[in-house]
A = this chain, B = another copy of it.
Amino acid sequence: MTSFREKAKSELMTIFTAAVAAVDPERIVKQWVQVNDELAQIGNCSFSLNKVGKLWVVGAGKAAARMAKALEEILAKYLAGGIVITKYGHGLPLEKITVREAGHPVPDEAGVEATKEILRLVQSVGERDAIFVLISGGGSALLIAPSTGLTLRDKQEITTLLLNNGVPIEQINVVRKHLSQVKGGQLARHAYPAQVFSLILSDVIGDPVDIIASGPTVPDPSTFKDAVAVLHRYHLWDRLPPRAVRFLTAALEGKQSDTPKPGDEVFSKVKNFIIGNNYQALQGAYQQAKTLGYRTLILSSSIQGEAREVARVLAAIAREVVRSGNPLSPPACIIAGGETTVTIRGEGLGGRNQELALAIALDLQGLDNVAVLSAGSDGTDGPTDAAGAFAFGDTVARGQNKGLDAQAYLQNNDSYHYFKAIGDLFQSGPTGTNVMDLQIILVQQPEN
């Protein structure tokens, strides 16, 4: 069993690495943007570099610096300059593009200042210029510009209020876009009439461009009236900071311009491209698993739901592979991705991937030939130093040998300490990209 575990871990890591490589920010930017013979090609769009004005780069997200680095190389002499914002510790020294670091997941004043720089830049570019906007996970917190008269603190207070009062995320976003100068298509308005190419690395299920980083270059159908209606619906209007009430009251009286709507002319100059997503990572995993000799199946790139319940379904599929060779016969690799949630009931340490791995281990007990890795594609999982964890048919038994009760650890949401104790944490370090999570299930033939 030890040798099976070690070999399976090694293969799971190889597959994970291939998945992450398939959405490497530098690589995918270079796939999407090419310059040949004075012609720039972005996806299926192209323009002559002799006819365009200057080229600029702005952006925000955990992968912003690496995406910017690639663009600096591709655009080379054609690049005029730019500013991107990334999370603390994720910066890179670039030549023409300024990289600012700021707070994430909690936004800070550094983010506000850097966003001001971006807004000044895009407002100053000429009509014939083109701006590349680089969007990746975390962009919503990093690209932050409270509406005139509001402070960062006001916005945070309102977000906390919305989160704590059961407001669904779609409705929270309606409010947030209306307390911002940059979200909900407003960056595109500031950039108008320059040409905008948005390159988006998606960290949201289904790749909804209006949700990823709050859609700075995407039309927003919602209105100030909708935002105020949400606040009334949840009885939060009277609990808003006074500045927010003044701002929204003025906005309702038409004293503020609303976010740009679908059909607004600013979007005639905008192209949004999803250049990387969870599905691409799954495809990378798929190719690698095939190379390793596995029959391979991509189950879904939009897995969601409570982590421990999702685990039960994945375990049921693994059991069926063992039992009847469905949906694939061994050696089989089943690949899934998306983003689960964890309803925290305990006081332990973990992340949604480690929780999923612990739950699946409980359902895989006694299966000798199954190995699972659940991990965040960015190399992190919850507030831990792990990206995820490995699960095997003997994960529960090896815990018992050390006096650990896997079920009790799961109840306490303490998956991190369980996996740490048995040596099955997956610690990849930061991967430089972020397309949510991956689950990789290997089922070997019985004789292995």
A contact residues vs B (CB 8 Å cutoff): 206, 279, 282, 297-306, 309-310, 312-314, 316-317, 319-320, 323-324, 326-327, 338
Contact = CB atoms under 8 A, between A and B. Distances in A.
B279 A301 contact: no
Contact of A320 (B298, B314, B323, B327): B298
A208 to B, nearest CB: 12
Given A326-B299, A326-B300, A327-B299, A206 B310 contact: no
A413 to B, nearest CB: 16
Nearest to A310: B313
Contacts of A338: 316
A305 B313 CA distance: 7
A92 to B, nearest CB: 32
Given A297-B327, A299-B326, A326-B298, A309 B305 contact: yes
A308 to B, nearest CB: 8
Given A313-B313, A327-B327, A320 B306 contact: no
A436 to B, nearest CB: 12
Nearest to A313: B313
10 contacts: A279-B324, A300-B313, A301-B320, A303-B316, A304-B312, A304-B316, A309-B309, A310-B313, A313-B313, A327-B327
Which 10 residue pairs across A and B have the least CB separation, nearest first?
Answer: A309-B309, A305-B312, A298-B326, A300-B320, A300-B316, A313-B313, A305-B309, A302-B316, A300-B317, A297-B327
Contacts of A300: 313, 316-317, 319-320, 326-327
Given A299-B326, A305-B313, 8 more contacts: A300-B316, A300-B319, A301-B320, A302-B316, A302-B323, A304-B312, A305-B309, A310-B313
